[in-house]
């Protein structure tokens, strides 16, 4: 191995060590691995893999709450809101697809190729508590874009930032 290649390898390993430093490092890396699996399913349009990493009932509840808050601010009538939110869950379920998340991921700075590795994601993950992790945007700052919960060893998406909902739907709500 050349000296230049060795320096690059040390730099990569050092960055990884810094990203995983801290007492929450094992949990953060486990969350990052689950988030990687979710994003890989999104990128591959793998519906089975996607569903394995989505807590659909929790996400539906969160999206309903966010849409109701946005609709209240838009002065949408209760009847129209009820039709939008309770149409058999169809309107909300249309937002919970790999395609919607692929659009949002790209808008928030994620790439168009393969999903980032767990090591790369670990720098963007913040543990909220031992069973909940927050994924920041590609800059690693700002509010959580996606929130995941550890459900029996599988990290599942349970909440999404309202801005990401607007990005995924293509319109302001």
Ordered by start, the domain boundaries in the chain are: 24-169
Taking the CA atoms of 87, 91, 92 and 97 in sequence, report the sign of the dihedral they define.
positive
Supply the Cα-derived Rg of the chain in whole angstroms.
18
pLDDT at 14: 46
pLDDT at 167: 43
pLDDT at 75: 61
d(CA 32, CA 135): 9
pLDDT at 88: 52
Its pTM surpasses 0.75: no
d(CA 150, CA 34): 9
pLDDT at 127: 93
pLDDT at 77: 58
pLDDT at 136: 81
pLDDT at 76: 59
pLDDT at 168: 46
Helices in the chain by DSSP H: which ranges?
Answer: 3-19, 25-44, 47-52, 56-73, 78-86, 90-93, 98-107, 118-122, 162-169
pLDDT at 104: 75
136 contacts: CB under 8 Å, gap ≥ 6: 124, 125, 126, 142, 143, 144, 145
pLDDT at 143: 79
pLDDT at 54: 96
d(CA 167, CA 132): 24
Q: Which residues of the chain have pLDDT under 50?
A: 6-7, 9-11, 14, 17-20, 165-173
Q: What is the dihedral of CA 73, 103, 79, 65, to 10 degrees?
A: -60
What's the distance, CA 95 to chain centroid?
13
d(CA 58, CA 36): 20
């Amino acid at each position: 191995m050349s000296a230049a290649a060795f320096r690059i390898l040390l730099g990569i390993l050092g960055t990884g060590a810094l990203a995983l430093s801290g007492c929450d490092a094992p949990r953060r890396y486990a969350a990052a691995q689950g988030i990687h699996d979710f994003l890989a399913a999104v990128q591959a349009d793998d519906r089975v893999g996607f569903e394995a990493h989505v807590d659909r009932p929790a996400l539906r509840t969160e999206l309903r709450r966010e849409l109701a808050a946005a609709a209240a601010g838009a002065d949408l009538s209760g009847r129209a809101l009820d039709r939008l939110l309770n149409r058999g869950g169809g309107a909300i379920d249309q937002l919970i697809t790999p395609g919607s998340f692929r659009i949002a991921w790209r808008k928030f700075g994620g790439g168009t190729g393969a999903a980032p590795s767990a090591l790369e994601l670990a720098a963007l993950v913040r543990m909220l508590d031992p069973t909940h992790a927050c994924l920041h945007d590609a800059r690693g700052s700002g509010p959580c874009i996606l929130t995941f919960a550890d459900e029996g060893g599988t990290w599942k998406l349970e909440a999404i930032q309202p801005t990401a909902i607007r990005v995924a739907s293509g319109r302001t709500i």
